[in-house]
Copies of this chain bind each other. A is one copy, B any other.
Amino acid sequence: MKLAVIAGKSVRSVAANQDLIQEGDRPTTIKLILGGVACRYKILASGRRQIFAYLLPGDFCDLHVVLLGRMDHGIRTMSQCIVSEVPSEIFHKLTLSEGRLARALWWATLVDEAILREWLVSMGQRLAKERTAHFLCEYLLRNRVAGVASGNTMTLPLTQEDLGDTLGLSSVHVNRILQELRADGFIRHLDKATVEVPDTAALSELGQFDPSYLHLRDSSLWP
């Protein structure tokens, strides 16, 4: 899918830590991330937060609403983001007349679902260290696919609390896990928000990461 075609005119920049969409919204536009990182999240009555997806350049924020109407979760920027908006009505009409488009968007949804399944496996069955390793592998690979990672280095604009809410861990424990990963040489912090993975094969093994669930065409991107 060519971004240039979809991007259209209404492109804007959004600062970090801003809600692009809130739970309960019924947006009238579809938003596409062109730059930066955002996340899907939900906040419970208890105040606890769960993040269940990161949106990278090329990802749609709210395709759901074309069919479901109401957002059942929020979307928030983690870094400064470039966002493009298109009236959802355009999608509504096009997907009816163009089976190919509906299928393309459906395809994207299926991959998102596969990622969610894998996160659920991580949450349910893997230890904190493995889970963290698995997440870092997936994040690096998806950054490569999106064309925003150079080699083994990626931008990870997340606080340890963000990571905790992603992995179902406390920020304190995330801190200790990251220290272990650094001590073992699995990762290196070049900078607060920049992480290098010296040996992707080793990190893969630790996290039991098998990228087949991402259904990539290009198998040369991993390891």
A residues sitting closer than 8 Å to B (CB atoms) are 40, 42, 44-46, 48-50, 52, 64, 67-70, 72-73, 95-100, 102-103, 105-107, 109-114, 116-117, 119-121, 123-126, 165, 167-168, 208, 212-213, 215
The interface residues of chain B lying within 8 Å CB-to-CB of A125 are: 44, 46, 48-50, 168
The copy count of this chain in the complex is 2
**A102 proximity list for chain B (CB < 8 A):** 95, 99, 102-103, 106
Q: Is the pair B109, A110 in contact by a Cβ cutoff of 8 Å?
A: yes
What are 26 A-to-B residue pairs whose CB atoms are below 8 Å?
A40-B117, A42-B117, A50-B121, A52-B117, A52-B120, A64-B110, A64-B114, A67-B107, A67-B110, A68-B110, A68-B215, A72-B114, A72-B117, A72-B213, A73-B117, A95-B106, A99-B99, A102-B103, A105-B106, A106-B106, A106-B109, A109-B109, A119-B120, A123-B168, A124-B167, A124-B168
Residues on the B chain within 8 Å of A113, using CB: 109, 112-113, 116
Tell me if A124 and B50 are in contact (CB < 8 A).
Answer: yes
> Do residues A45 and B208 form an inter-chain contact, with CB atoms below 8 A?
yes
B99 touching A212, Cβ below 8 Å: no
Query: How many whole Å from A11's CB to the nearest CB in chain B?
Result: 26
Q: In the complex, how many angstroms separate the beta carbon of A123 from the nearest chain B beta carbon? A: 4
- The minimal Cβ–Cβ distance linking A148 to chain B, given in whole angstroms, is 24
Q: A123-B120, A123-B123 are in contact. Are A103 and B107 (CB under 8 A)?
A: no
Contacts of A213 in B (CB 8 A): 72
Closest chain B residue to A104 by CB distance? B67
Minimum C-beta distance from A201 to chain B (A): 15
Shortest beta-carbon contacts, A-B, top 8: A124-B168, A102-B102, A123-B123, A106-B106, A116-B116, A96-B99, A48-B125, A50-B121
A97 to B64 alpha-carbon distance, docked (Å): 22
Please give, as numbers and ranges, the residues of chain B lying within 8 Å of A73 by CB-CB distance. Answer: 117
Task: Given A106-B67, A110-B64, A116-B116, decide whether A42 and B121 contact each other with a Cβ distance below 8 A.
Answer: yes
A119 neighbours in B (Cβ, 8 Å):
120
Name A94's closest neighbour in chain B (CB-CB).
B99
CA distance A103 to B112 in the complex (A): 17
